[in-house]
Amino acid sequence: MLSIDGRRSRIQLASEILRLLRLGGVGKTEVMYTVRLSHLQTQKYLHWLTELGLIEQPATGSRPLEYRITHHGLDLLGKIEHLQEVLQLEGLSEIIDSPELKFEEGTRHGILKRIINAIRPIQGGGTD
């Protein structure tokens, strides 16, 4: 899910990393390419999530280091996913129940324009 300007928030990026690590141990390079971050961004996010106790980097001997999600990380990810579901549903009900979408039975003209006008205020834009 992207924001209106197309950029991902810090929480969105963190949740993408946590979702990836939920699948199993993953190395830094795989995180970088899968989540589409630069090397520096990947290092910063992995360090930040490790400091918060959401992920860990268990000792693996001579193998490249893999990151794993912690129980705390799994719990937080579940809460983030639940919140995203709730917010999406509330956003849909705002659009569906919007007065701009009310029209007389049998009138189909201008429905698309009404939908666009109903969505714009939710996205932060103005109406026509």
Comparison of pLDDT for 95 and 14, the residue scoring more: 14
Contact criterion met (CB below 8 Å) for 27 and 67: yes
Number of other residues whose CB lies within 10 A of the CB of residue 14: 22
Residue 111 banded pLDDT, cuts 50, 70, 90 = low
Using pLDDT thresholds of 50, 70 and 90, give the confidence band for residue 117.
low
pLDDT for 6: 65
Calculate mean pLDDT across residues 78-90.
Answer: 79
- Indicate the fold that domain 10-88 takes in CATH: Arc Repressor Mutant, subunit A (1.10.10)
Give the pLDDT band (50/70/90) at residue 7. Answer: confident
Both tokens of 56, joined, read 């860990």
Task: Name the pLDDT band for 19 (thresholds 50, 70, 90).
Answer: very high
| pLDDT for residue 45 is more than 60 | yes
Task: Give the separation between CA 26 and CA 47, rounded to whole angstroms.
Answer: 14
The pLDDT assigned to 126 comes to 47
Contact yes or no for 73/56 (Cβ under 8 A): no
For the chain, what are the domain ranges? 10-88, 98-128
Residue scoring higher pLDDT (100 or 72):
72
Beta bridge partners of 55: 69
